[in-house]
Structure 1
């Protein structure tokens, strides 16, 4: 039955359909997916991005081939729409985790979808480092590991944190998409409970909570960047 505009406003104000225990459960599922996927994305994206940066400057045929392969894989996964990526990874997810549903089942797609994106941000951040600093470290006999840990990561840290903030916010949106196809979380609550049952107050609460998560992530990221960036 179609609702009048007045009915919709009244519903959003009084929130008769909102079951707060279900909202809290959905919020916890969204936070779980966001936090875990962000941590793994940071690790894998940092490794991939560093490899991209190092091999992009390589002079040997092997390094150029390696860069081309890694760059192609990164670009490939970045180009695949997230909802399609979830469907493509269902067999892999089932083998890896033994389930394709719930917050746990969404993690492989979230990580594989976000890590290449963050890897490019890492590469870009490292390319912004003054070449003289890197050349000075190399001329002093620093090993590749020392250059990475003492120069690349240290000098690009503000960019790495800023990029991770952007990636984490994108992951919040991805968890909402994953929720639509059964991963749980606020996206699942907004769609299955709110949209399919025409409960606008549930959609409103879910949307507000997602926005709060995004604002909190951005706020924390901005503070960290300001403290780290001494320029």
Structure 2
């Protein structure tokens, strides 16, 4: 689906199951996060099943993380907190074709429910920093890009890929062979792709692309999620 025909997207603020906020988009019948818990899902899917899993397999290494879909910045913030808590350096690159304005992010009042209040300054800074500019805080290098996923050009050397596009019904092109092949190409051998999605056609497309795919227990409200490894 071409989201540009709905631009600007009409958003309203909702409260999710764990008390944290999210945006609901009327035109797409889609939320930015799980209605069952925005922070809970982000932490479970991307930090625990993605970042922490990779770290368990790669002790003493410095990961490069790519995120497809910056959105509200929640995944980036929780990854920063995890990296600081575990005293590891990290490089984090996030792409967003339809960015939220600083005013929209502020209206969400996400910080009221974010963990680790001592790190809330990073949440502000990741939204205030200019697009394309590298921002460094506590050995965490962050850069956000306002680009289209299909046309962007990046070094193909990421260790972890957070795939956080809108759902299949809203952005079906992001869950098909072309997009998933690009994910494969962006990862190093042994790299980890992780997403909240558990759709059978997506799993089969990942396998066809060359990934080894796991179906894992999902976060609250979802029976399963997917994790895929680019084989060595």
The structure with higher relative contact order (CA 8 Å, sep 6+) is 1
Structure 1 or 2: larger strand share? 2
TM score, norm. by length of structure 2: 0.20
TM score, norm. by length of structure 1: 0.20
Larger Rg: 1
Structure 1 or 2: larger helix share? 1
